[in-house]
Amino acid sequence: MRRPLILLSTVVLAVALLAANVTWWVDAEVLDNDAFVESAVVVLNQPTSRDAIATIVVDRLVEEVRVLVVVDEVLVSVFSRLLGTPQLQDLLVLVSQELHQRMVTGETGPIIVDLEPYHDVLLAPVDAVSPELAARVPDAWFRSVEVLEEGVVPDLSGTADKARTVGVAAVAIAVALIVLIVAVAQRWWVRLGAVGTSFFVAGGLSALAVPAGAGTVVAVNPDTPRAVLVANLYAELAASMTARSLNLLLVGAVLVVVSLVALTINMVSSRASS
């Protein structure tokens, strides 16, 4: 009876640790406003992300002033460099805050930003290329520029309500199962081996979920500037998930190795004494 109970507890413990690892990561890195905005700003400052945002802004501008299509590539390059300057860092923070607000509240409308404060900065490269073209850009365009269209932002409102509860429950279950394994197993290396296996499996599955998630992100987002932003943001957020998972895996590996060493020593001692 002991062996089946230990095996069952080991499996359920692995599931509980996996759930705890994922939900606490979601709560700490995705749902937390400060942590998310910090990660998002880092992502938006990456060259590929700046190029993607610049492409979106220029595309919107070209839709308004069709003649600018003749210099759109030049404008993308210039705008991308501008996004990396201190003058536009507040804009990146604003976009990050708007994105997080929509994610946690379930608001799936487009993200529209007011670029009026950056009117002169953004219009300068157009004016440098052609003052005539710059004169054609209406001032009203800067007041409402759509950065992300409606339906793009993922709805995490349901997750936001449940993540912490699930995380606390998973931790409580994990602690209870560890206590049960310690109480039921008669040999200490069996205890270490069972708990270590659960940590190892949970960490391994969590680590494998990261590239699987990246593949899903790429699959559901076509090859567009928006897809670049989503992939970059996922990679930044998932880095901490990978680190957490590898820590679990390492703890499990150490416990399993210690357990196997102890078992080997016990077997050798038993043979020697017999």
Checking if the pLDDT of 151 tops 80, the result is no
Under a CB-based contact definition with an 8 Å cutoff, are residues 44 and 50 in contact? Answer: yes
pLDDT tens digits, residue range 34-61?
Answer: 999 999 999 999 999 999 988 888 888 8
What is the residue whose two structure tokens read 């529209």?
Answer: 112
Using a CB cutoff of 8 Å and minimum separation of 24, what contacts does 62-67 make?
A: 64/137, 64/138, 64/141, 65/133, 65/136, 65/137, 65/138, 65/141, 67/133, 67/136
> How confident is the model at residue 12, as a pLDDT?
95
From 100-114, 199-213, 234-248, the region with the lowest mean pLDDT = 100-114
Under a CB-based contact definition with an 8 Å cutoff, are residues 150 and 223 in contact? Answer: no
Distance CA 251, CA 254 (A): 5
Instruction: Provide, rounded to the nearest whole percent, the portion of the chain with pLDDT above 70.
Output: 94
Under a CB-based contact definition with an 8 Å cutoff, are residues 68 and 125 in contact? Answer: no
Most confident listed range (120-134, 158-172, 219-233): 158-172
Return the bridge partners of 113, or none: 145
pLDDT tens digits, residue range 158-210?
Answer: 777 788 888 899 999 999 999 999 999 888 889 999 999 999 999 999 998 88
> Which H/E stretch holds residue 147?
strand 145-148
Q: How confident is the model at residue 274 (pLDDT cuts 50, 70, 90)?
A: low
Checking if the pLDDT of 221 tops 80, the result is no
Distance CA 9, CA 1 (A): 12
From 118-122, 222-226, 234-238, the region with the lowest mean pLDDT = 222-226
